Structure 1
């Protein structure tokens, strides 16, 4: 398989992680683009990029770029997705991939028309541990999934100008951390939840600071989520089945899980992959999808389901971002 030329849009912390992941995967960073010429140039020098673009449109038009990784704030994703896809680039975009279902549907339609791979950079789709757990659950070893409980709490200081709380930057717990919890829940449920109950507490700016969410699908499978941006919680998931349960800590980048047999009490620690390679697994999966035509493995279908849930929740909460057509 030929080597693909990767471009990174953004020069922040997660973009830096991706540049390191590309190097760990044996890839060279071809190009970087960003709004700040100085910061973008420094990022390019640090990671040995061949090209540095102060204007991302020039990067999207570069015929040598094969795939673009977007690592900019949530509220900028939709426009960049469309511009990169219009330029004929495959796109891997940081979560949340868009603000709402309308934006995602528009980008997905464009990707389909152009025969390009569009995917969200969701670790849960690609970590080896989850592949093994889905195989275990799918094989019926623990019986059917009945209930999934998830928590994710990250204490952020009350800086209302930060991306966590600023409406103009699409802040709030749901798009930043809730997307992980919903993605894990959806990936172990047999169908999309169609019954949703929730309570949300807003931050002083009006974005969702804390939320409790209860989901149920047509098969009666349920999920309960607790999210907070102003309280520390463990990133803990419990997948409860008929014959046992699975407990996962630090679930966004997990490499181990505890599997407990309900009848015997036997406890098994299952390990697979490495947490430190989380973004590398995304890179490898994206390249396979592009080079072998296996776009389905990037799970845009599940990303679409999760986005539909987040869009419905924000409509219920009356949470609309500036300039957004929700």
Structure 2
């Protein structure tokens, strides 16, 4: 059994979560890279990682590294993905994987050309709970899908210089929390929707502070996506069918859902562990590499990025 060596590019908060929770028999964290050699060394020592580099390019020349985990700011994802793929590395990139569909298509084409696996680190597409819910839906006992609600509200200190509100760092709610909400909706929709309406309120820097979006596909399945960076809201996803509805609390890393049937009965579904969310991404990445074919999540990611594009196009017309 081959053991895969991972390298990390970008050592922010999510990289610390990735490294601290890394628990794999078939993988090891072998190297990290930062623009600061001292920062890279400190990070490597904190997590017992053998190698550290003071530049991203140095890491990509390390022939022992099989997979690159990219966790730099959103706007830098595309260039680092292409560099890693050109260096012969498989890539798992944080959300939002790219700024738009054009960038993602270029990356997908390069990955296929080079025989490499590319995936987005979207927890929703990797958590066991969501696969279990799909299995239940496939039995038909819930009836036809009708409506989805995907709210996500988060309060961020209104500082124009931080990444959440800085346009130079691709700030705004959509490319941060919005990717979760749209991914939640897309997971359950049986086919790709289009954006029927979307209204956005900007922050003083011009990035999206809050928005409301309506999605609908040709099967008349609908979804409402509500986002805010200046007001908290419970992350409770609701998926409504003819015979029942599903509620998922804290849906980005959920391991529990409730089925509420029309006759008043309920059923609790528990699958996986929220604490292992990032490890599920790693496991599914390894599985895709071994099968030598992308898992379904990459194509759902493409659908999500396309929807984000459509939303921004609507906003440009406001």
TM-score norm. by structure 2 comes to 0.97
In 2, distance between residues paired with 1:242 and 1:266?
15
Q: Which residue of 1 aligns with 2:201?
A: 201
Q: Which residue of 2 aligns with 1:138?
A: 138
Q: Which residue of 2 aligns with 1:121?
A: 121
2:282 paired with 1:283: yes
In 2, distance between residues paired with 1:39 and 1:161?
22
Q: Which residue of 2 aligns with 1:186?
A: 186
Q: Which residue of 2 aligns with 1:247?
A: 247
The correspondence of residues 201-220 of structure 1 with structure 2, limited to 5 A, is 201-220=201-220
In 1, distance between residues paired with 2:299 and 2:294?
10
Q: Which residue of 2 aligns with 1:161?
A: 161
Shift of 1:52: 0.7
Q: Which runs of 4+ in 1 moved over 4 A?
A: none
2:315 paired with 1:317: yes
Conserved? CA contact 1:31–1:44, under 8 Å: yes
Conserved? CA contact 1:248–1:254, under 8 Å: yes
In 1, distance between residues paired with 2:138 and 2:222?
17
Shift of 1:254: 0.2
In 2, distance between residues paired with 1:116 and 1:21?
25
Q: Which runs of 5+ in 1 are unaligned?
A: 320-326
Q: 1:293-326 CA distances to partner (integer Å, 9 max, x unpaired)?
A: 24224x111100000010121122239xxxxxxx
Conserved? CA contact 2:195–2:307, under 8 Å: no
Shift of 1:195: 4.1
The correspondence of residues 28-107 of structure 1 with structure 2, limited to 5 A, is 28-107=28-107
In 2, distance between residues paired with 1:250 and 1:294?
30
Moved more, 83-92 or 33-42: 33-42
Conserved? CA contact 1:248–1:257, under 8 Å: yes
Shift of 1:25: 2.2
TM-score norm. by structure 1 comes to 0.95
Q: Which residue of 2 aligns with 1:322?
A: none
Shift of 1:196: 2.3
In 1, distance between residues paired with 2:141 and 2:42?
51
In 2, distance between residues paired with 1:131 and 1:64?
33
In 2, distance between residues paired with 1:199 and 1:33?
39
